[in-house]
Amino acid sequence: QKEVEQNSGPLSVPEGAIASLNCTYSDRVSQSFFWYRQYSGKSPELIMSIYSNGDKEDGRFTAQLNKASQYVSLLIRDSQPSDSATYLCAVNRSGGGADGLTFGKGTHLIIQP
């Protein structure tokens, strides 16, 4: 069974610091990787997608992928209180990608003012 593992937290980070969120996955054939942000009582919102080894930057967010280690991470620079949320790592269920995502249980991030 394919699995996506995340530390549930809470992860507490001071405002202005870098928040580092980590995720490991079990299926070596996975090709698409996503980070979603979910505020309490709200729906998941796509933050980043990454498909190739290395780093991908978008504003204050950087996604990092290492397929050899089956590891994907999300860095949030200059953390703001509005970044406090649960961050979900998701991986495509098969190589094709049409059959949905497998989600981790999420990391609860708290940015302390």
Partner 1 sequence: NAGVTQTPKFQVLKTGQSMTLQCAQDMNHNSMYWYRQDPGMGLRLIYYSASEGTTDKGEVPNGYNVSRLNKREFSLRLESAAPSQTSVYFCASSPAGGLGQPQHFGDGTRLSIL
Least Cβ distance, residue 17 to partner 1 (angstroms): 26
Provide the total of helices (H) and of strands (E) in the chain, helices listed first: 0, 11
Least separation in angstroms between residue 29's CB and partner 1 is 12
Using the minimum distance from each CB to partner 1, give the nearer residue, 47 or 111.
47
* DSSP letter (8 states) at residue 72: E
Q: Shortest distance, CB of residue 19 to partner 1, whole angstroms? A: 20
> CA 92 from chain center: how many Å?
13
Residues that bind partner 1 (CB under 8 A): 31-32, 34, 42-46, 49, 51, 88, 90, 92-93, 95-106
DSSP, collapsed to helix, strand or coil, labels residue 34 as: strand
- Closer residue to partner 1 (CB): 19 or 50: 50
CA 87 to each of CA 25, 28, 39, 72: distance values in angstroms, whole numbers, following the listed order: 15, 22, 9, 13
CB 35 within 8 A of CB 51: no
> Residue 10 or 14: which CB sits closer to partner 1?
10
Least CB distance to partner 1 at residue 89 (A): 10
